[in-house]
């Protein structure tokens, strides 16, 4: 357990932040010399960001232990007749008052709260008592950042403030920017970028999405580059190819789902010709999964049939790239894929032989590898839970260094249908039934 002593944690010349918390949350402990509540709150908000990680851990743990749910009172109320209002009040942590006070007392209160949640998420591994605080903060933030409150804005190179464009550039994690021209192309022509903004954080895009307006469902990033130099008059497909969050403190708050649906609705209004809404998504942990899977030994080791899909695919691969006598086919496959010198993707014969092997492996990873009935792949979990269909696996769709390092270049289309289809697909997902296309089912045979 964390020590309750502050010796060596806070300088003796400053007011420890947990003392400020006590004064804010326990007015009965105030003295005639105690500063007014807004001043105390402002002092806490000013001092908190300057704390070290160990100081933040101590302060947040103090908040949970001393200003959380009064468990003794709650237990007493549970076993004695009482009215619902008293029981509800007893279930409410005292520290909830801190967040409402921060919001009403400081102009940057919302950013402070989001930053505190970010710290809670980082530090709860060192003290599981912070799990409760994390859960309650997420619930409060979900209310404060509900879809009806958020403002949808289009991001453009010419009209959006430079500070917002800089945030978009820095936070792009799916397809890192290559140049200023690359940034311009993503914000104009046949492409669009939209972001969600909160009234309390008007200069901060909370989450943003890039999409391309193209003739049909794009299978590769190269198609998007080639088809979006200028805006089409009547595009048929809107392809969402990158979605990024800028605020780690809002993890678990459902922003991306609402953003996709709001953007799709707006695009349909602007371009009535659109009849397909889909993603071109990465499979960021596929390579790591395959390396872990093939390194397992004994009864956990995958069979060659599982890795290669069928005997024909394995024979074709070995005919193109014969393995040494002392090496198994699975070991040789991994050696070829991981050889940075020979670069299998520059060898047309190997590219052809590996296509059925890798596409089937991605299908198995996305559909069969689950945790508690849900996909282990985070991107797949996000889109399928939102009501999309796992529609198509695209071979060599991302021929960048990052694309090869994360998924051997493969990407996936998730298809979003009409409102009823999305609702039906979401219901299937809740029942642990993944909605996949016939193409994907065929890969799993």
Query: pLDDT per residue over 351-409, tens digit each?
Result: 999 999 999 999 999 999 999 999 999 999 999 999 999 999 999 999 999 999 999 99
pLDDT at 1: 46
With a CB cutoff of 8 Å and minimum separation 6, the contacts of 289 are 365, 369, 376
Catalytic annotation, pick one of 67, 175, 383, 391: 383
Cβ neighbours of residue 34 closer than 8 Å, sequence gap 6 or more: 23, 40
67 is catalytic: no
Task: Answer whether 44's CB lies under 8 Å from 24's CB.
Answer: yes
User: What is d(CA 429, CA 207) in angstroms, rounded to the nearest whole number?
Assistant: 24
For residue 324, give every residue at least 6 positions away whose Cβ sits within 8 Å of its Cβ, in sequence order, or none.
Answer: 332
| Contact call for residues 239 and 217 (beta carbons, < 8 A) | yes
Instruction: Return the pLDDT at 270.
Output: 96
Looking at residue 268, what is its pLDDT? Answer: 97
- pLDDT of 49 reads 94
Catalytic site residue from 42, 105, 242, 281: 281
Query: Given this model, what pLDDT does residue 9 score?
Result: 63
**pLDDT for position 72:** 78
Q: Which helix (H) or strand (E) covers residue 390, if one does? A: strand 389-394
Check if 383 is active-site. Answer: yes
Contacts of 196 (CB under 8 A, 6+ apart): 150, 151, 152, 205, 206, 207, 208, 255, 258, 259
Q: Using CA atoms, how far apart are residues 16 and 6, in angstroms rounded to an integer?
A: 9
Distance CA 172, CA 14 (A): 39
Low-confidence ranges of the chain (pLDDT < 50): 1-2
Per the CB < 8 A criterion, the answer to whether 231 and 213 are in contact is yes
Largest interatomic CA distance in the chain: 87
Pairing verdict, β 276-279 and 237-245 = parallel
């Amino acid at each position: 357990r964390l020590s309750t002593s502050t010796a060596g944690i806070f300088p003796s010349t400053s007011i420890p932040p947990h003392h400020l918390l006590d004064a804010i949350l326990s007015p009965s402990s105030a003295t005639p010399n105690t500063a007014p509540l807004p001043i105390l709150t402002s002092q806490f908000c000013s001092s908190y960001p300057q704390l070290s990680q160990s100081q933040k851990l101590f302060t947040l743990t103090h908040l949970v232990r001393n200003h959380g749910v009064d468990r003794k009172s709650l237990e007493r109320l549970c076993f004695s007749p009482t009215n619902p209002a008293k029981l509800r009040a007893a279930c409410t942590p005292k520290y909830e008052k801190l967040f409402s006070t921060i919001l009403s007392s400081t102009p940057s209160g919302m950013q402070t709260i989001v930053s505190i949640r970010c710290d809670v998420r980082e530090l709860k591994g060192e003290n599981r008592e912070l799990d409760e605080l994390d859960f309650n903060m997420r619930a409060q933030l979900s209310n404060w950042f509900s879809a009806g409150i958020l403002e949808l804005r289009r991001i453009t190179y010419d009209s959006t403030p430079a500070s917002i464009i800089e945030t978009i550039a820095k936070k792009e994690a799916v397809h890192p920017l290559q140049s200023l021209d690359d940034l311009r192309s993503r914000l104009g022509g046949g492409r669009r970028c939209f972001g969600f903004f909160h009234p309390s954080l008007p200069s901060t895009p909370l989450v943003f999405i890039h999409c391309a307006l193209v003739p049909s469902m794009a299978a590769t990033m190269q198609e998007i580059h080639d088809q979006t130099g200028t805006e089409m008059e009547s595009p048929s497909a809107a392809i969402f190819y990158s979605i990024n969050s800028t605020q780690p403190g809002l993890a678990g708050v459902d922003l991306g789902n609402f953003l996709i649906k709001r953007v799709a609705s707006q695009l349909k209004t602007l371009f009535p010709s659109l009849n397909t809404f889909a993603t071109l998504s990465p499979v960021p942990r596929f390579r790591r999964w395959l390396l872990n899977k093939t390194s397992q030994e004994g009864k956990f080791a995958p069979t060659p049939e599982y890795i290669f899909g069928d005997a024909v695919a394995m024979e074709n691969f070995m005919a193109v790239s014969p393995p040494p006598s002392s090496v198994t086919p699975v070991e040789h496959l991994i050696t070829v894929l991981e050889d940075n010198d020979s670069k299998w993707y520059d060898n047309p014969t190997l590219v052809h032989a590996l296509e059925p092997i890798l596409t089937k492996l991605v299908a198995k990873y996305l559909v069969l590898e689950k945790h508690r009935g849900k996909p282990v792949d985070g991107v797949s979990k996000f889109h399928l839970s939102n009501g999309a269909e796992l529609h198509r696996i695209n071979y060599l769709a991302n021929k960048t260094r990052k694309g090869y390092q994360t998924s051997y270049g493969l990407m996936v289309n998730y298809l979003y249908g009409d409102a009823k289809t999305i609702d039906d697909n979401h219901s299937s997902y809740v029942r642990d039934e993944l909605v996949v296309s016939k193409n994907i089912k065929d890969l799993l045979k």
